[in-house]
Every structure is written in C-alpha cells, then in structure tokens.
Amino acid sequence: VLQVHVVNADGTGDHAVTRMPRDEGSAQIPAWSPDGRRLAIQVTNGPKHLGHIWVIDLASGAATKLGAHTEPYHDEVPAWFPDGQRIAFQSDRTGRLEVWVMRVVGEEQRQLTK
C-alpha cells in the first residue's frame, strides 16, 4: 500500500503523513492546501474500483474521507481552490472523466465540465 511522506528540502526528516489501511487503498497524488496545513490526497483501491479524495491535517494527523461513496468510480487528482474551502478533482462518475468540485467538508459535490 502506498503512503504519502513529507521530507525536508535537504532530504532529512522523512515521515509518513498517511497511514491508510490496506482495505482503503493506496494514498497518492498529494496537493498542499493554500495555508500549508493540510494535504488533499487521492486514495485508490484498484480491486474494488474505488477512489476517494481525503484531507490530512498535518498537525493532528487526522484523515477525513470526502464525498464517501460505494459506487465503482474514482474521484482523483485533487487540487485546492485558492480560498482553501473547495477542492477540484476529476471523477468518472458519469462514465467518463469530468472535473468536479466539492467543499473541503465533502459537501456540495457538483460537476463542472460536460
């Protein structure tokens, strides 16, 4: 299972910031929040055909799954809006990859492209 690590610019201080359970999948594609205190990550479980966006609070280590679902689709490649309140991501919910947006609390998911 892949995990996301943070390392100092000089190569020291390597430490994992995710500890995803194997049944959730592999953590990858990190994106820093505008204030540098959180990471949005993609967690993909290939065998289950599921992908979710998670937010990691770097100070506490708390991990929150956004827009949880059980349908066989992938939410992936997170990118923060400059306000730090929304995340854009791509999803194949409609049967093809489209750009979506949701609030950092996982609410108000809506499709932006068609």
pLDDT for position 105:
85
Instruction: State the pTM of this model.
Output: 0.93
What is the C-alpha separation between 108 and 30, in angstroms, rounded?
A: 22
Is residue 1 predicted with pLDDT exceeding 90? no
Question: Sheet holding 63-66: strands in order across?
Answer: 26-32, 38-45, 50-57, 63-66
Structural contact between residues 37 and 2, judged by C-beta atoms closer than 8 angstroms: no
Cβ-count burial of 110 within 10 angstroms (0-12 exposed, 13-18 middle, 19+ buried)? exposed
Identify the CA nearest to 65 among candidates 54, 51, 79, 78: 54
pLDDT interval class at 16 (50, 70, 90): very high
pLDDT for position 48:
85
Is residue 46 predicted with pLDDT exceeding 90? no
pLDDT digits (tens, 9 = 90+) for 57-86: 999 999 999 999 999 999 999 999 999 999
